[in-house]
Amino acid sequence: MRKKIVAGNWKMNTTVAEGVALAKAVVERSAEVPEGVDLIVAPPFTHLVSVAEVLKGSKVGLSAQNCANKAKGAYTGEVSVDMLVSAGCGWTILGHSERRQYYGETDALLVEKVRLALDAGLGVILCVGENLDEREAGRHFEVVTEQTKAVLFNFTAEEMAKIVIAYEPVWAIGTGKTATAAQAEEIHECIRKVLAQKFGQAVADDTTILYGGSCKPSNAKELFAQPDIDGGLIGGAALKADDFIGIALSF
């Protein structure tokens, strides 16, 4: 079912103590967020067990920011999907542009990660988005279409029910430059059309598609008012409970 979701990607920020305090503040203020708007936080791996404890019994879900592309074994430094589930995660973000850009993650690798995550029972927030050069060359529809197809066309219509897409134009992430509501909406509409070609209109209509890139309380309302924008994946503004909840109150 298509949902309204506001998810906070904390990236490599906060100590464990700071993360626990932030999670507590989010839980406290989550009572203000209306029924039907789901909240998710994605702290660093080291924080997951402690933050899971804070979120217990609340309406705030827990996500990782990444997972390994192997199930278990001799992969030093990696974190498996089973570890995430055992730490209390219900979700993992995959394919964030920072993973693609700095750690060389490809669509083929992401297919492996999505497969493992779904099989472990995790929901997936899959990020797609064009960089500045691609946008300036007018290739944004093409790039996002290709990323969507290359990863998601390996899964079934039933599996799509556990996958959320986050459209994050790379030029808007952490730059203060938000895509206009119209720029975001036309890409979201395009993603839904691509999904409809493969999985049918009902699946496309049921898929939750988030916008991410310098989303804040002051611009969330206009973005979330678009017919194909179902919420946000929030970076910087997710590090302050007031801003994060302010965004969730923008529907």
Q: Binding mask 150-179 vs ligand PEP (x if CB under 6 A, - otherwise)?
A: ------------------x----xx-----
Two tokens, residue 33: 């967020």
State both tokens at 15: 């100590």
Tokens of 147: 């990323």
Judged by CB under 6 A, the residue of 4, 5, 6, 9 near ligand PEP is 9
Classify the C-alpha dihedral 83-88-89-90 as positive or negative: positive
Joined tokens for residue 119: 């099989």
Is the distance from CB of 91 to CB of 71 less than 8 angstroms?
A: no
CB of 135 closer than 8 Å to CB of 149 = no
233 touching ligand PEP, by CB under 6 A: yes
Query: Per CB under 6 A, which region of 50-58, 99-107, 135-143, 232-240 contacts ligand PEP?
Result: 232-240
Q: How far is the CB of 8 from ligand PEP (least distance, A)?
A: 9
Smallest gap from residue 58 Cβ to ligand PEP (A): 22
State which of positions 209-228 bind ligand PEP (CB under 6 A): 212-215
Helices and strands (H, E) in the chain, number of each type:
12, 8
Which of 123, 213 has the CB closer to ligand PEP?
213
Compare residues 163 and 203 and give the one whose CB is closer to ligand PEP. 163
Contacts of 239 (CB under 8 A, 6+ apart): 8, 10, 13, 14, 22
> Site size for ligand PEP, by CB under 6 A?
13
Contact positions vs ligand PEP (CB under 6 A): 9, 168, 173-174, 212-215, 233-237
